[in-house]
Structure 1
Amino acid sequence: MSVPHQPDGPPPVVDLPSTAGRRPVLYALTCGSPLARNVGTLVEAAQRDGWEVCVVATPDGTKFIDPAALAQQTGHPVRSRYKNPGDPDLLPSADAMIVCPATVNTLNKWAAGITDTLVLGLLIEGQGKGLPIVAVPFTNTAMAAHPAFRDSLVRLRGWGVTVLFGDPYFPLHPPGAGEAHLNAFPWQAPLSALR
């Protein structure tokens, strides 16, 4: 089945679900990228906007973050693996999700319906529930040029996911140059897309 191409441009306005007097819960999902080191910036901005934030990382994402510091910042443990059968849920249910940074690997698996990490399971389940989801890929020009990645972006957009990619959000960088661009990343952009 082919999904129509959606040009890069301003994200659609997303209607947030009613939260019945409580703060809405945002899942900040992060993947294995050096940009994940700064996910606390997203947490802080989301909290200023009135969100209760929970951080969930892919196993490779945990290599770049400080789970203890993020747990202190959010008041929730940082999850990275599926819980054992019978264990209680440690996080409140999400009202919206931002996956940032989203790696090529995670986006391609998500578009293929693969749930071999907790982040992917949450994204696929959240999509099935109709939650607002914003995906922000962070990759280099060589990886972004792969046809499967481009097809995955088109598929996810076609399914209602807001994808903030490349210009005008954040210009792609050449391979090996990502570290030089981390401090310029527009962490407010995915939050603005949820408003």
Structure 2
Amino acid sequence: MRTLYLFSSAASPVFDIARVVEDAQADGWDVCLGLTPTAARWLDRSLDGLAALTGHPVRWDYKLPGEPDVWPKPDAILVAPATFSTINAWALGITDKFVVGVVAEGIGKRIPMVAMPCVNAAYVQHPQFERSVETLRGAGVTVLYGEGGFVPNQPGQGDPGAYPWRAALDAVRDLPPGA
């Protein structure tokens, strides 16, 4: 069985993460769930159940030096929903958050990765966002942004139920094997 790291930021589609884990498992993945600290806080009451569902501890912080890694090595990584902050931090190499550190290093390790943003139309007007998307694409990350992926909504107008999770899972399934 192939291992998928599913990394999620604090955006409203994260509340569907248990269903997404189940869908990924139905696609044949062993899923390890990583969250940004804010997403972990949002899902605090569900963390034990999510750990039971995946069979792995849910992680949102770096392990201490010398501690063993509790997850198997990934065959692929899906970062979704990826907030404005997560996309920009990843592209800029700002690795103070566990999930961003893993995916920043994942570029160098040539781990196949997919990112799907969840940002509103006001955020995408910031000049750094497009640069970050292009930086990640240039580094080999499949970024599902625009037609066929995530299309931004007006601030306050998002529909978490319309987030295209299936497109993200299909893109991960279709990734070529890593190095």
Task: Give the structure-2-normalised TM-score.
Answer: 0.91
Selected match of 2:157 from 170, 177, 185: 177
- 1:107 equivalent to 2:69? Answer no
Structure 1 runs not aligned, ≥5 long: 1-22
Residue 177 of structure 2 is matched in structure 1 by none
Indicate the structure (1 or 2) with the bigger Cα radius of gyration. Answer: 1
Give the distance between the partners of 1:86 and 1:155, measured in 2 at CA: 33
Cα deviation for residue 42 of structure 1 reads 1.9
Residue 127 of structure 1 is matched in structure 2 by 107
Give the distance between the partners of 1:64 and 1:48, measured in 2 at CA: 25
Cα deviation for residue 136 of structure 1 reads 0.4
Would you say the 8 A contact 2:150–2:164 is kept in 1?
Answer: yes
Q: Which amino acid aligns with 1:57?
A: L
Would you say the 8 A contact 2:116–2:150 is kept in 1?
Answer: no
Q: Deviations over 1:40-78 (max 9, x none)?
A: 222111101111000000101112322112111101110
- Pairing of 1:111-190 with structure 2 (within 5 A): 111-178=91-158, 181-190=159-168
Residue 30 of structure 1 is matched in structure 2 by 8
- Helix, strand or coil at the partner of 2:122: helix
Residue 95 of structure 1 is matched in structure 2 by 75
Cα deviation for residue 113 of structure 1 reads 1.1
Would you say the 8 A contact 1:46–1:53 is kept in 2?
Answer: yes
Q: Which amino acid aligns with 1:61?
A: A
- Give the count of matched residue pairs: 171
Q: Which amino acid aligns with 1:41?
A: R
Give the distance between the partners of 2:150 and 2:88, measured in 1 at CA: 20
Would you say the 8 A contact 1:97–1:132 is kept in 2?
Answer: yes
Q: Which amino acid aligns with 1:159?
A: A
CA RMSD of aligned residues (A): 1.1
Give the distance between the partners of 2:91 and 2:134, measured in 1 at CA: 9
Residue 27 of structure 2 is matched in structure 1 by 49
Would you say the 8 A contact 1:55–1:78 is kept in 2?
Answer: yes
Q: Which amino acid aligns with 2:53?
A: Q
Task: Give the structure-1-normalised TM-score.
Answer: 0.84
Give the distance between the partners of 1:167 and 1:142, measured in 2 at CA: 18
Q: Which has the higher contact order (CA 8 A, sep 6+)?
A: 1
Q: Which has the larger share of helix?
A: 2
Give the distance between the partners of 2:69 and 2:125, measured in 1 at CA: 39
Residue 36 of structure 2 is matched in structure 1 by 58
- Helix, strand or coil at the partner of 1:141: coil
Structure 2 runs not aligned, ≥5 long: 175-179
Q: Which amino acid aligns with 1:144?
A: V
